[in-house]
Amino acid sequence: MPVPGIGLWLADAPLILASRSASRRAVLEGAAIAVEVLPADVDERAIEAGASDQTPGAIARILARAKALSVAAQRPGRLVLGADQTLALGARLFAKPADLAAAWAQLKVLRGATHELHSALALVRDGAVLFEHCETAALTMRDFSDRFLSSYIEAAGSAVTASVGGYQVEGAGIQLFEQIAGDHFTILGLPLLPLLTYLRAEGHLAK
């Protein structure tokens, strides 16, 4: 039975999430972690360009670290979580679609193929990286029709521009797929279980 007056989150202050992702916030709050959202203001495309010789997983790590360090500089003494996700189809790296037309074109390229999502996180305090982790999931899209794609884009609306793949598997985007291999939280953009293990070991979560 729960002990009255004792919560699962034991730190003195909420964890700062350096991301505007509603999915990541929902994942953390669903795990009973106290969260404060402060999105990082970094030039993701410039960072990606500077790391163009790196693997997609390494780029995700670099982006997550940059976001966490940027916000940690504004909040001395606070624990800050940065996270990012890259999508690769073979050697080709994809970014968030700029608009519905770009989402249409991207999903046509991904259709009928298996792509990889690389989800990375970085925990930072006062300029020091305390913990980093990256996991990969493989997702196979079915060979859907152009008509279905039009219907999907119409149903999802602007949400297709909110994620790197142009879909949310927790919503209508699941209809794009025939097979998914990987951790569900990795697909949502935050490898949660390794994060919980670290936070528990450091005394931020109840054991």
Say how far apart CA 175 and CA 7 lie, in whole Å: 37
Beta strands in 71-127 (DSSP E): 80-89, 92-94, 114-125
Is 43 an active-site residue?
Answer: no
Q: Which residues contact residue 146 at a Cβ distance below 8 angstroms, ignoring those fewer than 6 apart?
A: 108
Catalytic option among 84, 126, 146, 183: 84
Kind of pairing, strands 35-37 and 15-17?
parallel
Backbone angles phi, psi at 140, to 5 degrees: -110, 120
Where in the sequence numbering do the catalytic residues fall?
A: 84
